[in-house]
Chains A and B, each alone.
Chain A
């Protein structure tokens, strides 16, 4: 790309020292008079201010953003029902194992990247890397066992794979740790979904990226669903993984809904959940659908599981007291 020799680079450094560049690029007049016209041109670009958004547009956005924020805040997910919470914690280990297996299978089969643990900020895989770290399986012997589990899963031996992976994940020492782990893992999965969905990894096709992103988002939602038992959780995740691996429905879904990238069996999510998954009565059913074009496919047909109605969310009535409205 570069046609510049060392000599030319040296000349450029002298002509455009750092301070001069900063002046030119921040709309200030340069010191070198030979650069005055360039300075004017750049200043002209610099001062361009697009028209401000209309009040209507601002209000519409603020309403949607506030609702989304409340839906996606992990703290609001843990309902205060102790029975439900305990059920959720009982299956934590298995859930984490399922997630771990699914992620390794996905990484392996999607061609997203070979070295997730070398991902840097900005890479599509950075979120996955961080998710694995937070779940605590990204190094040492545990990592190897998860990788073995991934190999089992990729051969269709999903149940064995989950058992193998579960043995690699330590039990949280107490409920608080467990709750934190679930919350962090779900958060990490969401980050991974955003990262993968909007990533620029050259080796993965857009269809795969969108599908994987959708799956990660679904997994994040399922992680926090206290009504799903471990087996059901595993079944759903493995179904999603298989649908992506098989390429089933992906192209149709992309064609129909390119921006949301929903994958898998639509009837297996949201309102179509099987009876044995528990009553959906704790969901803010029929919550506002997220119809954002191009947004991450993070909906499961009714807001966050256990998220509670928006009326319980803090800060709804305006700025908190004393926070100082700017």
Chain B
């Protein structure tokens, strides 16, 4: 998933000097997690927004100095702010956003196994039961693949607060699973 620090450094240098191959590489690396995160948090046009986020990165990449981890945080800080603006801009959208996922289309044994026991509707219901911030944290961890520290930077909270949020989110999800009476 990650390029590795050494490869990242050379890609970053090339990107800063305007090399197209480097931007292709960064785009392929970040587009998927960005679209996944933006879609899961209800972005109106997740694919377009993902590209916009990366173009903002391109405009400002000369100001960036850091490793791959901090670059990843930076990308999702901008994505997170785009989402906030997106939600604010859209008067049609409700205050809270549904967690949207393409989980029904995803393949793989793990997904099938889970779906055998828990209907998609119940999973979505479980996700809707979370607070907005909890959903943010879960989406950034699960879909964007960020660490606790990176999520903390994106949502502007301390790592300890992020851990507490994800702990409560997990407890809420477990509660829905318990109530639904589904067993393995």
Contacts and interface: CB of A to CB of B under 8 A. Distances in A.
Nearest to A120: B156
B182 A37 contact: yes
A320 interface: yes
Nearest to A68: B58
A248 interface: no
A232 B125 CA distance: 60
Contacts of B56: 194, 198, 295-296
Nearest to B37: A50
Interface in B101-117: 101-103, 106, 108, 110-111, 113-115, 117
B166 A49 contact: no
A81 interface: no
Contacts of A43: 110-111, 114
Interface string A287-326: 0000011111010000000000010011110111001111
A314 B17 contact: yes
Given A41-B123, A62-B21, A325-B21, A296 B103 contact: no
B13 A323 contact: yes
A295 B143 contact: no
Contact of A191 (B17, B49, B60, B138): B60
Given A37-B117, A191-B60, A198-B82, A69 B52 contact: no
Interface stretch (A9-17, A136-144, A165-173): A9-17
B75 interface: no
Interface string B123-164: 100100001000000100111000000000110100000011
Interface string B2-36: 01000100110111111111111111100110011
A40 B110 contact: yes
B163 A18 contact: yes
A13 B164 CA distance: 9
A323 B59 contact: no
Nearest to B139: A45
A258 interface: yes
Given A18-B163, A61-B54, A326 B11 contact: yes
A190 B63 CA distance: 9
Interface in A1-58: 1-2, 4, 9, 12-13, 15-16, 18, 21, 24-27, 35-38, 40-53, 57-58
Contacts of B26: 65
A159 interface: no
B95 interface: no
Interface residues on B, range: 35 or more
Contacts of A292: 52, 55
A47 B111 contact: yes
B59 A45 contact: no
A187 B63 contact: yes
B46 to A, nearest CB: 8
Contacts of B35: 50
B59 A15 contact: no
Contacts of A72: 58-60, 62
Contacts of A206: 85, 88-89
Contacts of A42: 142, 170, 173
B93 interface: no
Given A73-B16, A190-B59, A294-B82, A58 B174 contact: no
Nearest to A313: B18
A27 B123 CA distance: 16
B41 interface: no
> Quick one: which of A36, A121, A200, A310 has the most chain B CB within 10 A?
A200
Contacts of A65: 15, 20, 23, 26-27, 54-55, 57-58
20 contacts: A9-B164, A16-B167, A16-B171, A21-B163, A37-B184, A38-B170, A38-B173, A40-B118, A49-B36, A53-B27, A59-B24, A65-B26, A65-B27, A68-B59, A72-B58, A73-B16, A187-B62, A194-B59, A296-B56, A323-B13
Given A65-B20, A122-B154, A314-B17, 8 more contacts: A40-B113, A63-B20, A191-B60, A199-B81, A258-B89, A298-B59, A315-B14, A315-B17
Nearest 3 Cβ contacts at the A-B interface: A315-B17, A65-B58, A198-B81
